Each structure stands twice: as structure tokens, then as C-alpha cells.
Amino acid sequence: MELKERFLKYVSFDTRSDESSETFPSTAKQLELSRHLAVEMKALGMTDVELDARGYAMGTIPATPGREDRPVIGFIAHVDTSPDMSGENVRPRVIEHYDGEDIRLNEQVVMKVADFPELSRFKGHALVVTDGTTLLGADDKAGIAEIMTAAEYLLGHPEVAHGKIRVAFTPDEEIGRGVNFFDVERFGATFAYTVDGGFEGELEYENFNAAGAKIAIQGRNVHPGYAKDKMINALQVAAELNAMLPAWQRPEHTDSYDGFYHLTALNGTVESATVDYIIRDHDRRKFEEKKTYLLQAVELLNRKHGEGVITLTLRDQYYNMREQVEPYPELIAKAADAMTEAGVTPLVRPIRGGTDGSRLSYMGLPCPNLFTGGMNFHGKFEYCSLDSMHRAMQTIINLSKSWGK
């Protein structure tokens, strides 16, 4: 099956995850794609194919004869798409030869080069775009398509020597639960790569340290005409708390190694309100300082408004994989060489986010991240370069050969 055909098939599955769900996977519809992938893996001739009740689909590309003693390498991608925007009834459009100009997604929505200047770097590429009403799902169905197409190539070309290769597709990565029940020992790889990056050439082994903060505010609602010294407006307390956090440490004002506080939800009335933040920083010391600052802000407001007005629940989500990957420099060197061989310039830089590999690296499976060719993830302006996808697929094939030498 062609890479394009495979990708367009996968994005037709609605696999949006749900952070509010208490099930695993968080949405049953993710299992539909996982089942499809398990069937497809068997049809390709992969062995040890299994799909467990939690939605982990795994399979093996057996080593070519004489290469059974080589390190077992894994490739991992996730089936779910972001809760930030609908992934239902995705209607992708392929632009075969992009002219470098603005792209009209529908009558109301235009993706402008002025807003997304990196578009100009894709002039001449075949692009897959949305219809402006949903996300595309390249995060991470592009990665899935690249892994599966590379697997089909390796299985169909026994003359290409490689060691044993393990493949896994996980649910719920977008809500930080993707490897909650991932059995590293059962997966059986020495090293792995997530195929979950963006721009062509991205090679990432540094990511954010991450925490989530949920804040409940209990106000006191009194008729506004008689509220003096009595009312505690929960919404005003929420605004006060947000104003205490450094404005320059918001996502819209940060890049590179900068960390941030990101306000992701604010709901409520005068009587009660809830506020959600995510906290991110590559530097572990600065990460801990950010959490401490938020705790101190909450304590200060409780002293001002009354003990128990604000309740903070703070939970670490994942940590920077760098310290787990750096002891194995061959992981990065081989990936960089594989990209170069595929005609790609490696771009080694930090992830301003996280992947399943972040946590897997701390679970004993060092796991840097490779590009997919997708851009503008999580929204209606998401797009993917099929040219970059082909080079990502070739990078996987090259890596497989390299580890099998």
C-alpha cells in the first residue's frame, strides 16, 4: 500500500482522546484503529502480533537470517489525536504541487504564509491539508503510516539485512497516559524511537519536565448591592492568581529552552471556579521553582481570602529524557546518519512538549523522537508534507539497516 493511501486511511478514524475519562483507553473509538493496525500487521507478515484490552498493538519484524544477535530496536507511534479539536469526519485534501502561496481551506478559513512563514519552505511539496473544520491527525497518524510502510518494505525485501524490530502503537499519548500500562519487558527492545516529531529533520532527545495543576476556588456569593467585606468572587480570585504568574512565562512569549505556565481552562461563577494549568521547563531546577512559585501564590491568596478558599492539586506528568538517552550516544548518531542518508538535514533540538518516549526512557527504554513531516498539530491549520513523510519512512528503513550491521 502506498504511504499516502495508508495515511489517508488512518486519518479517517476518529481517535480523539478524552482527559476527563477515567477509562483506559480514554475513548473506545481509539480501539477501532488499533484493531485495524493489528489486522494489517498480520496481513503484512509480521509475527507476535497482539492487541491487548488496553489498546496496545504490537508486532515483530523478524531479524533476517544471521542478524538475530543484533540489538532489538523498536519504533513507536500513538493512535489518539488531541482533544483540542474535533477529529471526526476529517476530510483531507492533497495539494500535489504546492505553489508556496496562501492556502484556502474553505470559504471562511485561509492558512496564510504571513501567519505560518514556514509554509514557504514546502513550495513544490505534496501537502495534505484539512478542510478547515477539524484537525488532520498527522499527530501521530503520519508516524503510524511511516512505520507501517517501512515495515511493509522490510518484509518485502529480505535482501535488506536487519536485526529484530519491534513495533508498537499506543493510545492516550495526547493526554499524558500513553504508557501507563506499557510493558517494556514484554516489548523486548533494547532501544526505541518514537516517530512523533514535526518538521523534516527533527531529532529530539530533550523534552520538557511537565506537571499539571488543578485549582478549585470556593467563593462566597452575596447580593452585589450588599457585598462589601462579605463577597468572595471566585472568578476574581482566579484572575488574581493568573495575574500573579509571570506574563513573560506564557507559551505565546517563549521558545527554545524557555519554560512556561499555560492556562488551559477557566470555568466557574462567583460562587465557585476551577482553573487548570500545565507547567513546563527543560531545566529540572527551574521546573521545581515554577511549581514552588505556584504553591506560594496559592498560599498567599489563601492568607488573603481565607484558608481553604483555594485548593491546589499539583501532579508531575513526565521528565526530561535527556539524562536517560545521553549515556547511549549511538542512538542519536545512528539516527542522524540515517537521516543524512535519506537526504535529510538532521535538526537536533529540544521538544517543546513531550512524547511517549519521555516516560519510556525513565522506564528503562531509551527512546528519542524522530520527525514525521507534520506541522501545526492540534488544530485546523495542521498539514503534512508527503515528501517529508517519504523521507521519514526512509529514515526508519535506514535505521533498521544500521542497527542490523
Cell of 394: 526512509
Predicted TM-score (pTM) of the model is: 0.88
- Write the pLDDT tens digit of every residue in 180-213: 999 999 999 999 999 999 999 999 999 999 999 9
Q: At CB < 8 A and 24+ separation, what contacts does 340-344 make?
A: 341/394, 341/398, 342/391, 342/394, 342/395, 342/398, 343/391, 343/394, 344/200, 344/201, 344/371, 344/391, 344/395
Structural domains for the chain: 3-207+320-403 (3.40.630.10), 209-318 (3.30.70.360)
Cell 494549568 sits on residue: 277
The reported pLDDT for the residue numbered 176 is 86
Confidence category of residue 370, pLDDT binned at 50, 70, 90: very high
Quick check: 135 and 375 in contact, CB under 8 A? Answer: no
Sign of torsion over alpha carbons 56, 331, 368, 8: negative
Q: What is the mean pLDDT of the chain?
A: 96
Cell of 116: 505560518
Question: Which residue in 14, 140, 152, 173 is the catalytic one?
Answer: 173
Q: Is there a catalytic annotation at residue 173?
A: yes
Cα(111)–Cα(115) distance, integer angstroms: 7
- Write the pLDDT tens digit of every residue in 3-47: 999 999 999 999 999 989 999 999 999 999 999 999 999 999 999
Cα(135)–Cα(16) distance, integer angstroms: 10
Question: Which residue in 14, 40, 80, 174 is the catalytic one?
Answer: 80
The reported pLDDT for the residue numbered 353 is 81
Q: Is there a catalytic annotation at residue 80?
A: yes
In angstroms, how far is the first alpha carbon of the chain from the final one? 28
